[in-house]
Amino acid sequence: MPDQAKSSYTVAQFIVAVDGLSELTPQSDQLPLAAGHASFRHQWIGWLKEYLTPGYYNRQNFVDDARTAYQRLNNGRMIVWLNEAAGEDPRIIQAAIVAMEKREAPQTEAMYARRVLPWQGVARLLFKR
């Protein structure tokens, strides 16, 4: 049965969970990394630290909720890395990578990644500790 202990997490809790993950992931390490980032973990933490501010994207709406942040992210590769680093089954990670293939827009990649890797699954893995 899924962990029912808590269903909502803050962005600060999300940052702590991401910071505790390994940077090394066999499948995600094969995906292109955005320029200026040392790792997908580095990219996640930087994005989350700016999430509750206007930041680079000039955000106007701030919702201190980890699930909302996950749903708003437009980077499928980051979604795949997060799930792999959190311990998702390698076959599911591979299915997400295949689902993203040949999707040109980042938003479309992210949409397909989330279809295979929904928030509930990664939240269970990230916050089980």
**pLDDT exceeds 70 at position 4:** no
**pLDDT exceeds 50 at position 1:** no
**pLDDT exceeds 50 at position 3:** no
pLDDT at 12: 97
d(CA 76, CA 29): 13
d(CA 53, CA 85): 26
d(CA 114, CA 16): 21
The chain-wide mean pLDDT, for the chain, equals 92
**pLDDT exceeds 50 at position 2:** no
Closest CA to 6 of 79, 66, 61: 66
Residues 70-99 have pLDDT tens digits of: 999 999 999 999 999 999 999 999 999 999
What is the model's pTM? 0.90
pLDDT at 61: 83
